[in-house]
């Protein structure tokens, strides 16, 4: 199976909701991760082109650590931050990562239609 979009979040409710919305897509995977290592393993397994990444997996800042590890490994996936932590928005923007609201289905659909 070719996975193009990967949602990484620690919140099962959010993932279940998104899975219900995008259940017709066979190129999308929803993975609950509660650690940097879990998120990196999911990226390695599914090799997505686009990652929707939460900031808080087990600790605040996990998303930024995942980004650093992915970039250090040469991963070229497009990453969107789905953090609700307004304090982290500027850090992500400084890394060239767009922050999107995970509940903004119109934006998600637009990204996933390209």
CATH number of the domain at 14, please.
3.40.50.2300
**Does residue 31 fall inside a structural domain?**
yes
Is the pLDDT score of 56 beyond 90?
no
- Residue 79, SS3? strand
Enclosing domain of residue 70: 5-54+61-101
Rounded Cα distance between 77 and 4, Å, is: 9
Residues 67/48, Cβ–Cβ less than 8 Å: no
Residue 106 lies in a domain: no
Summarize pLDDT for 73-106 with one digit per residue, the tens.
999 999 999 998 888 999 999 999 999 999 999 9
Q: Is residue 16 situated within a structural domain? A: yes
- Across the chain, which distance is largest between two alpha carbons, in Å? 37
108 domain-assigned: no
Query: Region 53-75: what's the mean pLDDT?
Result: 89
Which tokens in the block code for residue 81?
Answer: 């931050």
In this structure, the chain runs to a length of 114
Burial 78-112 (b: 16+ CB within 10 A, else e): ebbbbbebeebbebbeeeebebbebeeeeebeebe
110 within some domain = no
Domain count of the fold of the chain: 1
Task: Provide the CB-side half-sphere exposure for 62 (13 A, CA).
Answer: 21
17: in domain: yes
* Residue 25: both structure tokens together: 């897509």
In a domain? residue 113: no
| Distance in angstroms (rounded) separating the CA atoms of residues 78 and 31 | 17
Q: Is the pLDDT of residue 58 over 90?
A: no
pLDDT digits (tens, 9 = 90+) for 7-19: 999 999 999 999 9
Q: What is the pTM of this model?
A: 0.92
In a domain, 18, yes or no: yes
pLDDT of residue 84: 87
């Amino acid at each position: 199976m070719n996975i193009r979009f990967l949602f990484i979040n620690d919140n099962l409710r959010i993932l279940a909701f998104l899975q219900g919305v995008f259940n017709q897509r066979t190129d999308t995977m929803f993975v609950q991760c509660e650690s940097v290592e879990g998120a990196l393993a999911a990226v390695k397994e599914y090799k997505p082109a686009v990652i929707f990444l939460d900031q808080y997996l087990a600790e605040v800042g996990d998303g930024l650590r995942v980004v650093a590890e992915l970039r250090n490994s040469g991963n070229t996936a497009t990453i969107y931050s789905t953090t609700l932590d307004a304090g982290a928005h500027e850090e992500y923007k400084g890394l060239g990562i767009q922050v999107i609201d995970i509940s903004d289905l119109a934006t998600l659909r637009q990204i996933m239609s390209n």
